[in-house]
C-alpha cells in the first residue's frame, strides 16, 4: 500500500473517530478536515457496515449496508433541522420509537431501537433534555425587558439597597409521571390512574446570592396568599425587596396593587415578558424538586408533603446549587446586569 493511500485511510479513520468516539458535530469535522459532509456520511455508512477495516480503500467487507451515506445524511438532517410534526407525527420530540417508524415508512428500513440508538451516536447525536419556548413569546418584549426594564429595575434596587428575588409558583401532583420506570424488556409499562389523585401548590423565591425561600399554599394561590408570601419575604430580608415574577392575575390584582401602595416602595414588583419562563431562575427549583420527587414512593398527600418539604429544604441549604440557577444560558443576563 502506497504512502498516499495510507494517509487517506488514516484521514478517514480520524474523521470517523471524531464523530463516533468524540461526538463532534459533523459540520465542524467537515470544516476541520476539509471533507464534504456527503463524503463523511459515506464513510460512516462503511464503518457501520464493516467496522474500522471497511474504511480502507478497496475494502468492502462486512454485512450488506441497510443505510447508505445518503440515507445517513437524510436522517441527520431530519433530526437536526426539523421535528416530528413535519412528518405528521403528533409529537414534537424525536424518540427512538418515532425514528424507527419514520425509517420504516420513508426508507423501508427496519432497525431495532437499540440499533437506532447506536446509529444516532455514530452520527454524533445524543439524547438531550430540550429547552421549551412558547411560540406566543414576543421577541420585542423580551428584548425590551433584557435591555431596558430589568437593568433599570436593578439600578433602582441598588439605590434602595433592595434584595432581588425571582418568584414562581408551581403545583406537584400524584399523577404527574415524570422520568422512567422499570418493566419487562420489550413491553412498555402502563401507568394506571386510580382516580384518587392529589397534589400540592407551592411558591418559592431565589436570589442571586443563593438565598431560597418557599411556602406551601392551601388549595390555590390567591391575591391574599400572594400578599402574605411577599410580607414574609420582606420581613425575612429586613430590607426592601425587588421581586421579578410572571404575569399571573393575582400579581397585579387590585388587592395586590393596594398592598404595594401601602408599602412605601419597600416592595417593588417587575413582570417578566409573557410566555418567558426560561428567564426565571426560580423555574429550576421546580425542575429539581419534580425530578427528585419522581423516584420516591408516595402513598398519600401527607407523605408527598413530607418528601416535598425535605427536598426543598435540601435545595435551600445548597447555596452553590441555587447560585447555579443564575448561570444558565437564559438566566446569565441577571448576573451581567448585577456586575
Residue 109: band (very low, low, confident or very high) from pLDDT cuts 50, 70, 90: confident
Domain boundary among 58, 89, 122: 122
Contact 163, 236 (CB under 8 A): no
Longest dimension (CA), the chain: 87
278 and 149 belong to one structural domain: yes
pLDDT of 176: 52
155 and 88 belong to one structural domain: no
* Mean pLDDT along residues 154-164: 96
312 and 237 belong to one structural domain: yes
CA angle (63 as vertex; 14, 40 as ends), nearest 5:
30
Domain membership of residue 74 (yes or no) is: yes
pLDDT of 309: 96
pLDDT of 190: 47
What distance in Å separates the CA atoms of residue 202 and residue 104, rounded to the nearest whole number? 45
* Mean pLDDT along residues 194-208: 81
Q: What CATH number does residue 278 fall under?
A: 3.30.420.10
Share of the chain above pLDDT 90, in %: 46
CA angle (106 as vertex; 102, 110 as ends), nearest 5:
65
Domain membership of residue 131 (yes or no) is: no
Between 177 and 316, name the one with better pLDDT: 316
The secondary structure of 194-256 as a DSSP string is: -S---EEEEEEEE-TTS-EEEEEESSS--HHHHHHHHHHHHHHHTS-EEEEE---GGGSSHHH
261 and 303 belong to one structural domain: yes
Contact 213, 236 (CB under 8 A): yes
115 and 145 belong to one structural domain: no
> How many Cα atoms sit within 13 Å of 180 on the Cβ side?
4
- With a cut of 80, say whether residue 62 has pLDDT above it: no
Domain boundary among 56, 90, 122: 122
What distance in Å separates the CA atoms of residue 312 and residue 84, rounded to the nearest whole number? 36
143 and 292 belong to one structural domain: yes
* Mean pLDDT along residues 127-138: 69
232 and 328 belong to one structural domain: yes
- Comparing 1-5, 89-93, 152-156, the range with the smallest average pLDDT is 89-93
Helices and strands (H and E) in the chain: how many: 14, 5
Domain membership of residue 187 (yes or no) is: no
| Mean pLDDT of the chain, nearest integer | 86
Domain membership of residue 181 (yes or no) is: no
99 and 210 belong to one structural domain: no
* Mean pLDDT along residues 195-205: 80
What distance in Å separates the CA atoms of residue 20 and residue 129, rounded to the nearest whole number? 21
94 and 239 belong to one structural domain: no
- With a cut of 50, say whether residue 64 has pLDDT above it: yes
Domain count of the fold of the chain: 2
Cell of 103: 425509517
* Mean pLDDT along residues 18-39: 88
- Comparing 63-77, 83-97, 149-163, 281-295, the range with the smallest average pLDDT is 83-97
309 and 250 belong to one structural domain: yes
Domain membership of residue 237 (yes or no) is: yes
* Mean pLDDT along residues 199-212: 95
From 16, 99, 80, 97, select the one nearest 52 (Cα to Cα).
Answer: 16
145 three-state secondary structure: helix
Domain membership of residue 127 (yes or no) is: no
CA-CA-CA-CA torsion sign (230, 166, 269, 245): negative
Share of the chain above pLDDT 70, in %: 87
pLDDT in tens, 285-294: 998 898 888 7
Domain span at residue 224 reads 139-176+197-338
- Comparing 17-31, 153-167, 174-188, the range with the smallest average pLDDT is 174-188
Cell of 292: 427528585
Domain membership of residue 184 (yes or no) is: no
- With a cut of 80, say whether residue 229 has pLDDT above it: yes
218 and 94 belong to one structural domain: no
155 and 63 belong to one structural domain: no
Give residues with Cβ within 8 angstroms of 251, minimum separation 6.
226, 245, 269, 271
> In DSSP terms, which residues pair with 199 in a beta bridge?
173
Residue 264: band (very low, low, confident or very high) from pLDDT cuts 50, 70, 90: very high
Q: Across the beta sheet with 267-271, what order do the strands follow?
A: 212-217, 199-206, 163-173, 241-245, 267-271
Domain membership of residue 129 (yes or no) is: no
Residue 195: band (very low, low, confident or very high) from pLDDT cuts 50, 70, 90: very low
pLDDT in tens, 283-335: 999 988 988 887 777 778 888 899 999 999 999 999 999 999 999 999 999 99
Amino acid at each position: 500500500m502506497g504512502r498516499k493511500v495510507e494517509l487517506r485511510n488514516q484521514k478517514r479513520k480520524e474523521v470517523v473517530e471524531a464523530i463516533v468516539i468524540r461526538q463532534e458535530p459533523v459540520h465542524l469535522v467537515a470544516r476541520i478536515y476539509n471533507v464534504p459532509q456527503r463524503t463523511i456520511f459515506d464513510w460512516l455508512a462503511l464503518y457501520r457496515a464493516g467496522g474500522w477495516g471497511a474504511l480502507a480503500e478497496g475494502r468492502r467487507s462486512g454485512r450488506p449496508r441497510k443505510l447508505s451515506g445518503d440515507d445517513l445524511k437524510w436522517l441527520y438532517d431530519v433530526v437536526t433541522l426539523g421535528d416530528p410534526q413535519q412528518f405528521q407525527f403528533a409529537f414534537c420530540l424525536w424518540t427512538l420509537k418515532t425514528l424507527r417508524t419514520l425509517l420504516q415508512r420513508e426508507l423501508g428500513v427496519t432497525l431495532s431501537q437499540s440499533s437506532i440508538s447506536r446509529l444516532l451516536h455514530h452520527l454524533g447525536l445524543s439524547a438531550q433534555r430540550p429547552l421549551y419556548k412558547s411560540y406566543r413569546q414576543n421577541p420585542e418584549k423580551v428584548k425590551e425587558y433584557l435591555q431596558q426594564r430589568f437593568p433599570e429595575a436593578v439600578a433602582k434596587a441598588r439605590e434602595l439597597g433592595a434584595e432581588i428575588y425571582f418568584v414562581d409558583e408551581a403545583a406537584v401532583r400524584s399523577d404527574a409521571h415524570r422520568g422512567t420506570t422499570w418493566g419487562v424488556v420489550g413491553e412498555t409499562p402502563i401507568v394506571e390512574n386510580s382516580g384518587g389523585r392529589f397534589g400540592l401548590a407551592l411558591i418559592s423565591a431565589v436570589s442571586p446570592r443563593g438565598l431560597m425561600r418557599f411556602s406551601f399554599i392551601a388549595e390555590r394561590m390567591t391575591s391574599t396568599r400572594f400578599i402574605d408570601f411577599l410580607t414574609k419575604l420582606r420581613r425575612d430580608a429586613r430590607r426592601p425587596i425587588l421581586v421579578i415574577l410572571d404575569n399571573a392575575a393575582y400579581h397585579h390584582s387590585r388587592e395586590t396593587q393596594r398592598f404595594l401602595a401601602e408599602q412605601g416602595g419597600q416592595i417593588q414588583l417587575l413582570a417578566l415578558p409573557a410566555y418567558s419562563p426560561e428567564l426565571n431562575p426560580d423555574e429550576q427549583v421546580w425542575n429539581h424538586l419534580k425530578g427528585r420527587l419522581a423516584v420516591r414512593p408516595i402513598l398519600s398527600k401527607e407523605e408527598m408533603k413530607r418528601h416535598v418539604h425535605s427536598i426543598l429544604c435540601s435545595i435551600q441549604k445548597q447555596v452553590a446549587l441555587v447560585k447555579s440557577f443564575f448561570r444558565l444560558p437564559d438566566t446569565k443576563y441577571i448576573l451581567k446586569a448585577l456586575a
